[in-house]
Structure 1
Amino acid sequence: METKLMYRVEEVAKLLDVGRTAVFDLIRNGELASVKIGGARRIPRQAVDNYIEHLMEGAL
């Protein structure tokens, strides 16, 4: 199975079970790293992993 290196905002929203607006808020607040490729916003897989790890640290 191929693992994606970059995700669209919609894909991250689905992975995190939140709306697109929540993902854009996370990006705007600096909680989730993203890059622009041309006019497209992409979130690196590592940024999603880091964000989830950060959430888990707060849950312990």
Structure 2
Amino acid sequence: MSTSTPPIAYSIKQATEVSSLGKTTLYRHANRGNLRLVRVGGRTIIPADSLHALLSGGK
């Protein structure tokens, strides 16, 4: 069964793949407050809405 539900969050690696931005660039935007990172257990994830906002020029 394969559904194409859009992701609600991305790992750092997934975010680099879908955005074509490097890991350092993503962390730089997070440090500037332009991208939200969330720690869940031992993982850092990026909520999809935050990544989409960054890529569309918003916050």
Normalising by the smaller structure, the TM-score range is 0.7 to 0.9
Q: Specify the SS of the correspondent of 2:17.
A: helix
TM-score w.r.t. structure 1 length? 0.77
- For these two proteins, the number of residue pairs brought into alignment is 55
User: What do the CA deviations read for 1:18-54 (whole angstroms, capped 9, x no partner)?
Assistant: 2111111111111111211012111011101111222
Distance in 1, Cα, partners of 2:11 & 2:48: 10
Contact 1:9 1:24 in 2 (8 A): no
Note if 1:38 corresponds to 2:44: no
Q: CA RMSD in A?
A: 1.4
CA contact (8 A) 1:8 1:42 kept: yes
Write 1 or 2 for the structure with the bigger share of helix.
1
Give the drift of 1:2: 2.0
In 1: Cα distance, 2:13 partner to 2:24 partner: 10
Q: Which runs of 4 or more aligned residues in structure 1 lie more than 3 Å from their structure 2 counterparts after TM superposition?
A: none
TM-score normalized by the length of structure 2: 0.78
Aligned counterpart, 1:26 = 29
Give the secondary structure class of the aligned counterpart of 2:50: helix
